[in-house]
C-alpha cells in the first residue's frame, strides 16, 4: 500500500497513525493541487485532498478511515473495538465538531492563509475560533483532570485525532497553557516519537513559512 501525504494537519495525522502502527505502507509526498497533478489524483480522491491510501487497485481517503483500516490490518487496539468503540467514536465526533474545529479556525487564519497567501487574517474569525476553543477546552479539561488518555488507560486514535492541530500551535497561538490537564495530556502525546516527528526519515518538504510570524499569542 502507498500513503500519499503532505505536512498539513490531516495528512500529518495519517502519517503519525501509520508510523505509530508500524504499518506496512510506502509513503509518498504529494501535491494534488500543483499544476498538472489533478489528473493523477482525481481518480484516487475526487476532492483532491490528502491523505490518500492506495492498495490493491482501490483508494481510501480521509484520515479517520485510513487510521481505521491500518489499525485493523495491524490487529491493534489503537482503533478501539468492542466495548470501548462507542467511547472512542464519541470523542472522534465531539472532537472534530468542537475542539479540533475551533483549533482549525484559528490555525487557518493565522497559519494556512498566511503560508499560502490567501488573504489577510480575519480577526473576527480568530476571535470566534478562540471563543469556541475556550468552551471546548474547558470540557476537555474536566474530562482529562482524572485520567491520562481519552479512552481507558492507553493512547488511542481518539487522542491523535483530538490533537490534530496542536503541533501547529506555534503559529495558531491557542492558549493551551490555560488548561493544565489538557496541556499534560498533550505533553504525553509529544513523548510518542511517531507523533512528535512523524516525518522523520521521509522525503517531505517543509511547509512554507508564515511571513513575519513570531508569536501570535
Report whether pLDDT(114) > 50. yes
Asked which of 32, 54, 74 is the last residue of a domain, the reply is 74
pLDDT digits (tens, 9 = 90+) for 135-154: 999 999 999 999 999 999 99
Question: How far apart (Å, rounded) are the C-alpha atoms in residues 164 and 53?
Answer: 18
Considering the domain architecture, whether residues 55 and 157 belong to the same structural domain is answered as: no
Range of the domain at 88: 82-193
Question: How far apart (Å, rounded) are the C-alpha atoms in residues 124 and 164?
Answer: 23
Phi, psi (deg, nearest 5) at residue 26: -95, 135
Residue found by looking up cell 500543483 in the block: 34
- Residue 216: the pLDDT is 40
- Residue 213: the pLDDT is 67
Considering the domain architecture, whether residues 187 and 139 belong to the same structural domain is answered as: yes
Considering the domain architecture, whether residues 86 and 70 belong to the same structural domain is answered as: no
Average pLDDT over the chain, rounded to whole? 95
Report the share of the chain in percent with pLDDT over 90. Answer: 96
pLDDT digits (tens, 9 = 90+) for 160-176: 999 999 999 999 999 99
User: Is position 113 within any domain?
Assistant: yes
Quick one: average pLDDT of 57-65?
A: 95
Considering the domain architecture, whether residues 28 and 104 belong to the same structural domain is answered as: no
3-state secondary structure the chain: CEEEECCCHHHHHHHHHHHHCCCCCEEEECCCCCCCCHHHHCCCCCCCCCCEEEECCEEEECHHHHHHHHHHHHCCCCCCCHHHHHHHHHHHHHHHHCHHHHHHHHHHHHHHHHHCCCCCCCHHHHHHHHHHHHHHHHHHHHHHCCCCCCCCCCCCHHHHHHCCCHHHHHHHCCCHHHCHHHHHHHHHHHCCHHHHCCCCCCCCCCCCCCCCCCCCC
3-state secondary structure of 81: coil
C-alpha cell at 131: 471563543
Number of domains in the chain: 2
Asked which of 74, 96, 129 is the last residue of a domain, the reply is 74
Considering the domain architecture, whether residues 148 and 178 belong to the same structural domain is answered as: yes
CATH number at residue 97: 1.20.1050.10
Asked which of 53, 74, 95 is the last residue of a domain, the reply is 74
Considering the domain architecture, whether residues 93 and 146 belong to the same structural domain is answered as: yes
Task: Tell me if the bond preceding 185 is cis, omega within 30° of 0.
Answer: no
- Residue 56: the pLDDT is 83
Considering the domain architecture, whether residues 95 and 34 belong to the same structural domain is answered as: no
Question: How far apart (Å, rounded) are the C-alpha atoms in residues 113 and 130?
Answer: 17
C-alpha cell at 141: 479539561
Taking alpha carbons only, the member of 101, 110, 160 closest to residue 131 is 101
Amino acid at each position: 500500500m502507498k500513503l500519499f501525504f503532505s505536512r498539513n494537519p490531516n495528512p500529518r495525522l495519517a502519517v503519525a497513525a501509520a508510523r505509530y502502527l508500524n504499518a506496512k505502507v510506502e509513503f509518498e509526498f504529494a501535491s494534488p493541487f500543483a499544476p498538472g497533478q489533478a489528473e493523477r489524483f482525481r481518480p484516487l480522491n475526487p476532492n483532491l485532498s490528502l491523505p490518500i491510501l492506495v492498495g490493491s487497485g482501490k483508494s481510501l481517503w480521509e484520515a479517520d478511515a485510513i487510521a481505521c483500516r491500518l489499525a485493523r490490518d495491524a490487529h491493534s487496539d489503537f482503533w478501539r473495538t468492542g466495548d470501548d468503540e462507542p467511547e472512542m467514536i464519541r470523542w472522534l465526533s465531539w472532537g472534530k465538531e468542537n475542539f479540533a474545529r475551533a483549533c482549525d479556525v484559528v490555525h487557518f487564519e493565522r497559519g494556512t492563509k498566511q503560508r499560502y497567501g490567501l488573504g489577510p487574517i480575519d480577526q473576527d474569525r480568530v476571535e470566534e475560533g478562540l471563543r469556541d476553543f475556550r468552551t471546548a477546552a474547558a470540557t476537555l479539561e474536566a474530562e482529562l483532570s482524572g485520567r491520562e488518555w481519552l479512552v481507558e488507560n492507553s493512547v488511542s486514535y481518539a487522542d491523535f485525532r483530538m490533537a490534530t492541530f496542536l503541533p501547529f500551535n506555534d503559529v495558531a497561538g491557542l492558549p493551551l497553557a490555560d488548561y493544565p490537564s489538557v496541556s499534560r495530556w498533550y505533553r504525553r502525546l509529544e513523548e510518542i516519537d511517531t507523533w512528535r516527528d512523524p516525518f522523520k526519515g521521509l522525503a517531505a518538504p517543509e511547509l512554507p513559512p508564515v511571513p513575519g510570524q513570531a508569536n501570535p499569542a
